[in-house]
Structure 1
């Protein structure tokens, strides 16, 4: 049974109804689909227990052929759609003809709004259900009581996860919002809103999106904070003519401050009655990082963003630099690949590639030559591997074989060297040299079943002492740091 037939499911098979959407995305030219490698390996081995987690991203090609595409969204720059597409060079322009009919373009009268937050920690179900120190009550129990004391007999709306009953708040004036309240106008008579929902994606989603250049805070904003905004906008805040003071209860300080940024003039205050909520850290001057682990992760994330930015700069892409152009400029100025010491026109001049590099290495006549014989063109992986195979079949003396380096050396890039590190503009591929040990080339390749690994013996290899080299193609050229 082909994936295309499963996707079509002409006979409405119940199983195909479940797997059909995935089959459609896998076979579509407009989606990129990833799968958890270990889970996929278990699947193809025939292990029936377990799950297969996949991730699918829509490609801009889905909109080719249309004269125009209109996308409407609140908080557009914070959406995953916007961030992922702009990283690929897609430019979004305001629809001026429609903008004229909008009720407002930015929120006014923020001074009417007080945003109260229940805690300092990022909101999650795990934190919500944590026991208070020395008590049987949970953080959620204390929030429930604090909200009751805050609103008293005033009516309010609230939104929460489905595991909370409709009667979670005992006050007669409490009205529950649907979990997807977008666009509803029937709650404009309320002036108080409480958003209890914890809407974080699974941890694996964060790891996957980090690989696409989206950090954890951007994920939380796109999935959680924009949903909080939708709930908040159901009450009288959506009516600029309503001068009644409004109160918003958010669950964590970061979300409260993010909301306040959308309503200039709004006040941010802690929710009264939450003094017993457990918080990370010790008394005294607050730390910049909640723990050493958080500090380490932040440094690791910063380094990852820097390396991704280097890939952008080398290949002419915009995964990171499209969203953080000043960061991209800062990274560029620190990269040796872009510094030109010999032909600079003025201080801090840099060499900027306009397109992705089209070479995959440099050939020299011997190890002593300073100037290259040529730069090796990169058409595609198949052509390059075919060239390696042809070279391997030649029989020449080692000293006559020449030298190949996977780095592109520009002899005019540096004043003092011709093929030193300062002459490198980019590298392509992963190259390994095994001169001994008990790891065979077959065992090495088996470690990476989904990578293309090209292996060949060296000139000095024997049956007793096998020596081999390996080449792993990469989809992009790389910087030296990467």
Structure 2
């Protein structure tokens, strides 16, 4: 069936164009038009503005007098549509009224739907005898969608249900019955949920079903026109297309719009959290010991932010009236589509969390929608509609507009719809309070065998670490190198665990190949005190200051280099270098709760652009492999905090640069020691060493974050040890991946191609998984690529099986 649509921004005049021009034109020529609008309030506003005096056109509205007056509305509406008056007519109904229409063959009426209607609902009644009564009266059938069954009810619900709609659960059962009975709805039930009806497991208490209104709802009308902003993002456009609807944009109506694109130049879009907003995040307590939740703190900040300025707000019903004591705050209705009574406001806050549930995300995936599409349709469009009630609806208004949303993803969505707008982050909630807890990490292993190999690999890595510590002590003792600023320390006073005194090698210049001294302190506090002493010294140029490396170099270890990775015997401590921008210095310790952290300015640091270095002491020395494990986990935490850009040129599309120098991830890097900044306002020295903070324990981080499976530990690098792998092809595949275009939407395809090429080079799935984790850092969005690794491995597994099947055939 053909459905015309008018896609236009909020406030562009699409409703006026479709009703005052198109609908009235049809009615003046004797045609009959039904106009379905979101709410009775919108209908009242529209009818009040519609002037048809002197024309022989009748205008009616068929709406409920009360919230429960559904039967009366349905009967009056059917009566009106089946027995129209002669001549042109326009009848206004609500979206809910449209859904009540029974399927009764072709109608001699044109339909205009203002704003995309709600065609999806999630129904989850408790499992009891009354639900089983309904299930026994209906039938389950296979559906075209994997993992979902259809549920149909042939008999009228009033003949099946013997109980009234007098409780929340009974209301859900009635809703399910009417949806299953409707000719224009499809009730889909996950297989697992259908099986729970016959389960004796008393722990399973809820039944899950989804109702989808199909295009049959509107196909009986003479013609159909749908009006909506961002129509391609709505569920009708995305789901009805899969059910036979053919959407065609009405260019004639579009030509009469006031504008086709927003001017967002006067809008500032501010957001609170990097992580996606959710009910769980709303209720999370802050870590400051106040007992206040994140949501409650944000409400406090909003009133402080706007002071005496009026603002609109939207919030979840469960919180009640959040700003009852603020006379400048006005609450928007939960459904505000089409309302024009708020355009004198210049400030809007959207506090609600309206995410689809995990079950809904799974359902939408089976219907062919991505998580991004589902979230845009179910949440981001609701935010857009709420925000667009303000003065942004009026294109010639010049007043600045302040929009506050809760997360970065929502801010980016609005930013793309409001070209020219300014995007900024509010510092109301510390980063550490919003970071996702580590309990829900992605699946690490493709099968139990891989899990066991990884476990053995960790155990061997821990043993290798313990062996390295012992060897390092013997090495340092044999070197007899123990000085601290020229003061000799007798070796016998140090004992056998000499490396616990080592904190790094000192180099006179950045190009020096041989260390001129080392740092020896018995405790981390002693070394930090020395760093603080140096931080108080003024210099005229950063080149006056010597440098430190956490590595213990052996220039004689290899011939080619004196201060390369191949010369490293062991390391002590973790050093990072922030070149400015991104994560503020005082937010860094919150990314590493429980760890001692020292932060000090670099020479070129300023108040406007702080540049700083981070030092994290460790309890013991460690090797190159452990260094990489620790550094990769640290980088993951930057990404999890919302700073996904590893370089400044990767910024854009809402991606933020964390500011840390990726080139300093090398174990052989050197760092300038502390001093006063050239600009005194740029001085920083933070030593986070409270009783709950300890030095990093390398052994513990190996146990928790070691990722390399045993197959790569057992093998040496090169093709001599594994002739089945074409290492030249492996290197070529990695080079192609690293040099692939970093354009939005292309990363997953390039990453999957890398997996295919590694498989073609002879690598096993376990080896490929490790390589993908290592190569994800070169992606435009490393976190997203890492999340895709399990599905890539699964796809490669299926591809391998298909290849074997074809060969066998």
TM-score normalised per structure 2 = 0.34
2:264 matches 1:114: no
Q: Using a 3 Å threshold, how does the CA distance of structure 1 residues 105 and 124 change in structure 2: closer, same or farther? A: same
Please give the alpha-carbon distance, in whole angstroms, between the structure 1 residues aligned to 2:807 and 2:418. 50
Using the alignment, how far apart are the partners of 2:182 and 2:227 within structure 1? 25
Partner of 1:255: 410
Q: Measure how far apart 1:168 and its partner are.
A: 3.0
Tell me the distance in 1 between the aligned counterparts of 2:414 and 2:172. 38
> Secondary structure of 1:14's match?
coil
Equivalent position to 1:158, from 309, 313, 317: 313
Secondary structure of residue in 1 paired with 2:403:
strand
Instruction: Give the structure 2 partner of residue 389 of structure 1.
Output: none
Counterparts in 2 of 1:249 and 1:99: CA distance versus 1, 3 Å:
same
Q: Which residue is equivalent to 1:265?
A: 420
Q: Is the contact between residue 132 and residue 276 of structure 1 (CA under 8 Å) also seen in structure 2?
A: no
1:69 match: secondary structure: strand
Change (3 A) 1:28 1:153: closer
**Offset of 1:89 from its aligned partner?**
6.2
Structure 2 segments unaligned to the other structure (5+ residues): 1-136, 139-152, 437-590, 593-633, 645-744, 757-803
After superposition, give the CA deviation of every residue in 1:287-322 in whole Å (9 maximum; x if it has no partner).
68539xx9xxxxxxxxxxxxxxxxxxxxxxxxxxxx
Task: Identify the match of residue 14 of structure 1 among 141, 154, 164.
Answer: 164
- Per the alignment, in what secondary structure is the counterpart of residue 249 of structure 2? coil
Question: Is 2:283 the counterpart of 1:129?
Answer: yes
Counterparts in 2 of 1:93 and 1:128: CA distance versus 1, 3 Å: same
Q: Does residue 96 in structure 1 map to residue 481 in structure 2?
A: no
* Equivalent residue number for residue 196 of structure 1: 351
Residues 243-284 of structure 1, C-alpha deviations (whole Å, 9 max, x = no match): 000000010011001101001000000124334662428477
Q: Is the 8 A contact 1:4 1:24 kept in 2?
A: no
Q: 1:76 to 1:247 in 2, by over 3 A?
A: same
Q: Could you tell me how far 1:96 is from its partner in structure 2? A: 2.7
Residue 290 of structure 1: aligned partner = 640
RMSD: 3.9
**Aligned mates of 1:96, 1:183 — CA distance in 2:** 21
SS at match of 1:278: helix
- The counterpart of 1:228, out of the listed 370, 380, 383, is 383
Equivalent residue number for residue 154 of structure 2: 4
User: Cα deviation per residue 1:424-470 (whole Å; 9 max; x = unaligned)?
Assistant: 9xxxxxxxxxxxxxxxxxxxxxxxxxxxxxxxxxxxxxxxxxxxxxx
Is the Cα–Cα contact under 8 Å of residues 8 and 20 in structure 1 kept in the other structure?
A: no
Task: Give 2:93's aligned residue.
Answer: none
Whole-angstrom CA distance in 2 between matches of 1:11 and 1:28: 15
Per the TM alignment, residue 163 of structure 1 is displaced from its structure 2 partner at its CA by 1.6
Unaligned runs of 5+ in 1: 295-323, 336-418, 425-482
The aligned residue for residue 474 of structure 1 is none
Helix, strand or coil at the partner of 1:106: coil
CA contact (8 A) 1:146 1:274 kept: no
- Aligned-pair CA distance for 1:87: 4.3
Q: 1:83 aligns with which of 238, 247, 255?
A: 238
Decide whether aligned partners of structure 1 residues 217 and 66 sit closer, same or farther in structure 2, where only a CA change above 3 A counts. same
Q: Structure 2 CA distance, aligned partners of 1:95 and 1:423?
A: 54
Aligned residues: 309
Distance 1:244 1:78 in 2: 29
Distance 2:407 2:373 in 1: 16
Shift of 1:221: 1.2
Supply the distance in 2 between the matched residues of 1:131 and 1:18 (Cα, whole angstroms). Answer: 33
Would you say the 8 A contact 2:156–2:181 is kept in 1?
no
Post-superposition Cα deviations, 1:199-233, rounded to whole Å, max 9, x if no partner, equal 11222111111122212222211111111111101
**Preserved contact between residue 181 and residue 230 of structure 1 (Cα < 8 Å):** yes
| Distance change >3 Å, CA 82–CA 17, structure 1 → 2 | same
Contact kept, 8 Å, 1:118 with 1:274, in 2: the verdict is: yes
CA distance in 2, matches of 1:149, 1:11: 53
Alignment match of 2:328 (pick from 168, 173, 187): 173
CA distance in structure 2 between the partners assigned to 1:11 and 1:128 by the alignment: 38
Query: Aligned runs of 1:324-473 on 2, under 5 Å?
Result: 421=806
SS at match of 2:227: coil
Which residue among 261, 274, 279 is the counterpart of 2:429? 274
Per the alignment, in what secondary structure is the counterpart of residue 105 of structure 1?
coil
Q: 1:92 to 1:148 in 2, by over 3 A?
A: same
Whether the aligned pair in 1 keeps the contact of 2:323 and 2:329 (CA below 8 Å) is: no
Compared CA separation, residues 167 and 26, structure 1 to 2 (3 A):
closer
Give the CA deviation at 1:151: 1.0
Alpha-carbon separation, structure 1, partners of 2:424 and 2:296: 20
Shift of 1:185: 1.2
Higher RCO (C-alpha under 8 Å, 6+ residues apart): 1
Looking at structure 1, the residues matched to 366 and 317 of structure 2 have their Cα atoms a distance apart, in angstroms, of: 31
Distance 1:240 1:12, change over 3 A: farther
Shift of 1:65: 5.2
- Compare 91-100 and 44-53 and name the one that shifted more: 44-53
CA contact (8 A) 1:159 1:194 kept: yes
CA deviations on 1:362-386 (whole Å, 9 max, x unpaired) are xxxxxxxxxxxxxxxxxxxxxxxxx
Give the whole-Å Cα distance in 1 for the aligned partners of 2:159 and 2:385.
37
Alignment match, 1:211: 366
In the superposition, relative to structure 1, how do residues 27 and 47 fare at CA in structure 2: closer, same or farther (>3 Å)?
farther
User: Which among 194, 197, 221 is matched to residue 43 of structure 1?
Assistant: 197
- Structure exhibiting the larger radius of gyration computed from Cα positions: 2
- Which string of whole-angstrom CA distances, capped at 9 and with x for unpartnered residues, describes residues 25-65 of structure 1? 44556444322334323424699983321123334455545
Residues 275 and 408 in structure 2, CA contact (< 8 A), matched pair in contact too: yes
Aligned position for 1:240: 395
Distance 2:432 2:345 in 1: 28
